[in-house]
Amino acid sequence: MTTAEFPGAQSPARTYSLRVGGVRLAVHEWGSETAPPLFLVHGGFDFARTFDEFAPRLATAGWRVVAWDQRGHGDSEHTALYGWDADIRDAIGVIGQVTNKPAPVVGHSKGGALMIQLADAQPFRFSHLINLDGLPSKQPMSDTAEHDRTRMLAGDITGWLDHRRITATASRKAGTIDELARRRANMNPRLPLEWLRYLVTVGAREDADGWRWKLDASMRFGGFGPWRPEWTATRLPGLGMPFLGMLAGQQEPMGWGTLPHQIESQLPLGGKLHVLADIGHFVHIEQSAMVAETVLEFLAETT
């Protein structure tokens, strides 16, 4: 198996599968198996191994760091359908099989927004919630009548099913490691090519005709099923666990585009917001050491 090198990146200490609702999900862990668990939740078009340089920093501080590939991503199983609620149910299944106690959860991008909704629905699973540039704003549509929301949802479902039907037998384009890395650079323009080449070797598979990302070809950019950012933003103010949001100041193609003034009034009581003015969407990769230190300090001072 070909693996590129990147300074500080470490393969998980353990990798295994869990069954959640009949779907096989790949789980990756760093750190001691007997340490208290801390969960990392990746974003859309990502996978758990994107934490290979960030997770070891948390594990070194004494945490059992647990991350999983969401359905259709990484080494997890592809399924007939995908959706926001399915990802939340998968998260419940993984977290519940790892521990029955409250644990800190760190979510990036889509993973951060997913965890806002899960923390609102099942707060007993969370000791802390840290959100890495996954703070959707309700700015575009602050008040939506229930009948309008139902109509919008029906349209979203129809579009999603049509797309899934068209792409059911599609496969991702093959290429060399460098070609896949350069394609990824279109969405991750601030990250070094060396890191993107490393990602190819842990997030793609090598077929006879070249490398292909493991991501299900039916996934589309920004396509999480019938979901709108403002539906999640309304859950944020009521969270009761210690909350830290880290908002990227530099906009990127895969980012939310949320501005500080759009989210500050939505923070839960006692919640903290750090605006990282000179960092892009992938805050935990671009400034891994600083973000890890901030997370660890937050956990220490609020425990």
CATH no. for residue 75? 3.40.50.1820
Q: Which stretches of the chain drop beneath a pLDDT of 70?
A: 1-3, 138-153, 156, 163, 167, 221-226
pLDDT of residue 83: 84
Residue 206 lies in a domain: no
pLDDT of residue 159: 73
Residue 23 lies in a domain: yes
Has this prediction a pTM greater than 0.85?
Answer: yes
Domain that holds residue 285: 14-143+224-302
Residue 256 lies in a domain: yes
pLDDT of residue 119: 98
Residue 46 lies in a domain: yes
What is the DSSP secondary-structure string of 25-91? EEEEEES-TTSPEEEEE--TT--GGGGTTTHHHHHHTT-EEEEEPPTTSTTSPP-S---HHHHHHHH
177-185 vs 193-203: helix axis angle to the nearest 10?
120
Total of domains in the chain: 1
Residue 87 lies in a domain: yes
Query: What is the rounded distance in angstroms from the CA atom of residue 77 to the CA atom of residue 236?
Result: 30
**And the tokens for 22?**
């009949």
Radius of gyration of the chain (CA): 18
Residue 136 lies in a domain: yes
pLDDT of residue 4: 79
pLDDT digits (tens, 9 = 90+) for 197-233: 999 999 999 999 999 999 998 887 655 556 778 888 8
Residue 6 lies in a domain: no
- 218 within 8 A of 82, measured Cβ to Cβ: yes
pLDDT of residue 155: 72
Residue 153 lies in a domain: no
